[in-house]
Amino acid sequence: MSATPHTTVPQTLDDPIPMTLPRLAEKKRAAEPIVMVTAYDYPSAQVAQAAGVDVVLVGDSGAMTVLGYPSTVPVSVEEMLVLTAAVRRGLETPLLVGDLPFGSYEASDEQAVATAQRFVKEAGCDAVKLERGGTSADRARAIVQSGIPVMGHVGLTPQTATALGGYRAQARTSDRALGVAADALALQEAGCFSIVFEAIPAAVARELMPLLDIPVIGIGAGPDTDGQVLVFHDLLGIYDGHVPRFAKRYHDLRGEMVAAVGHYAAEVRGREFPGPEHAYSIDERELAEFQLGLSRM
Ligand code: KIV
């Protein structure tokens, strides 16, 4: 009996290949870690593209990181569509997932399908994401049946964080862990192509992995998921708000941005900026004529 080797199409940063649902599934089978990051505008999308990530999520975390809301709850579909369309314009090859905001999909299958269609038609998404199991699994099924791929999200689900006792790790008792397991399995059964595990014990995630055939993307769920996602502003150190324990900061971009803007302010106040290299010239004769003309006005 010969073993069939798992091969994926090689990905290089110089010549990236569009990410598709079959390629994502193949990555899981081949145990190749899947890289997902959030983005909220054209430049952050271009950064994700240039860095060669596999999946870009326009997360409703953008409500806090770029729109300044105190939570993800207030953000509207219209606001999310503006952010998502900007990301679409900066992205070529990663799979683009749009986050359905709170209140835009829970009421009925019809509402869920109509909102998901807007993310595909108006913002160019490849897929949408929604939070929780329970009735959300029914909504996911309806969206999938309408032809739009869906990513699920269990564990800490920020849209309903108040009901979960705040922004805290989930599934830390046997009962709660079984609840997360039931939600994840319901979402898989509903046809989700992938699922996010947020803020659950690594040991719980590890136990769940053999039950899930679809790629699992973790954030604060330990090292055993099929991939990882981080919020762009946490990763780069841009956001000044609360940074969760699971968010690794790879840079202090905010510090560098404040220093650069402070440097500019000091140069303006010190009359060092703009220098001659930032100014436009005019021919001497034209200037003399202009001065003459002005004197006659
Ligand atoms: O909104 C978001 O950024 C998310 C990720 C944390 C998965 O849902």
Q: Are 237 and 255 in contact (CB under 8 A)?
A: yes
- Please report which confidence band the pLDDT of residue 10 belongs to, taking 50, 70 and 90 as the band edges: low
Catalytic residue of the set 26, 32, 122, 198? 198
Going by their DSSP bridges, the two strands 227-230 and 216-219 should be labelled as parallel
Tell me which residue has its CA closest to atom 4 in ligand 1: 59
SS3 118: helix
Q: How many angstroms is it from 154 CA to the middle of ligand 1?
A: 11
- Please report which confidence band the pLDDT of residue 2 belongs to, taking 50, 70 and 90 as the band edges: very low
User: Does the structure show a pLDDT above 60 at 215?
Assistant: yes
Q: Are 34 and 54 in contact (CB under 8 A)?
A: yes
Ligand 1 atom having least distance to the Cα of 72: 1
User: Does the structure show a pLDDT above 80 at 9?
Assistant: no
Ligand 1 near 231 CB (within 6 A): yes
| pTM score over 0.75 | yes
Ligand 1 near 99 CB (within 6 A): yes
Ligand 1 near 60 CB (within 6 A): yes
Question: Can you give the pLDDT at residue 43?
Answer: 98
Residue with tokens 């709850």: 73
Active site includes 198? Answer: yes
Q: How many angstroms is it from 62 CA to the middle of ligand 1?
A: 9
The b/e string for 246-281 (b: 16+ C-beta within 10 A; e otherwise) is bbeeeeebeeeeeeeeeeeeeeeeeeeeeeeeeeee
Ligand 1 near 59 CB (within 6 A): yes
Region of poorest pLDDT, from 11-25, 118-132, 176-190, 225-239:
11-25
